[in-house]
Amino acid sequence: DGYAYTWEVDRTWRKTRKPTTNLLCNGADPNRNWDVNWGQYGSSSNPCSNGYHGDYVFSEPETLQLAQFVNLIPDLFAYISFHSFGQLLMTPYAFTRNASVENDLLVDIGQISVQNLSTVHGREYRVGSINDFFGNVAGSSVDYVALTKTPKIVYCYELNNNHILPPEEIQSTGQEIFVSLMTIFTETVNRG
């Protein structure tokens, strides 16, 4: 799935390792392989690109298995996706500038969450939609879950402001994200 490859060959590898139609290039970006406007924008049809969306929707076993798992959960309460880097807490959607039905609530809870996060180690996160920060991107897991499962909480974190997190920042990042998550869940429950 690319994990071992990140330790052995390329620390910033972001794709899977499944062979593609190009014998020289393996893998697809698993966050461009989901069934939400797949392949339309914000990804590439070039198997050698880091943003390659795969040969077809759910062509990657990793995305297919996660989608099947998520679809087995009848009343999914939350879906949180973690990425690096940028110090962002993002709401759906990526594929369109249109806001999700829950966007105002998610942004409000998100703002409280990142305020509490900043009290832990002083790091500042920004809140907004994925599209606000990255423009139109199709094939996102966050959008897929938001559109097919309608859970109460759907967020995507872009963690700390370093793509390769220094070991000395791992614990502090975990501590602040824990506070952020607990705030999100507490605020959600308190609001019914």
Q: Tell me if residue 158 is catalytic.
A: yes
Residue 2, token pair as written in the block: 């690319």
Could you give the CA distance from residue 150 to residue 78 in angstroms, rounded to a whole number?
Answer: 9
Q: Give the orientation angle of helix 141-148 with respect to helix 61-72, to 10 degrees.
A: 30
- From the list 86, 91, 117, 125, the residue with the least C-alpha distance to 183 is 117
The angle subtended at Cα 31 by Cα 25 and Cα 36, nearest 5°, is 115
Instruction: Please identify which of the residues 60, 158, 176, 187 carries the catalytic annotation.
Output: 158
What are 65's two structure tokens?
């298995």
**AA identity, residue 51:** G
Active site residues: 158
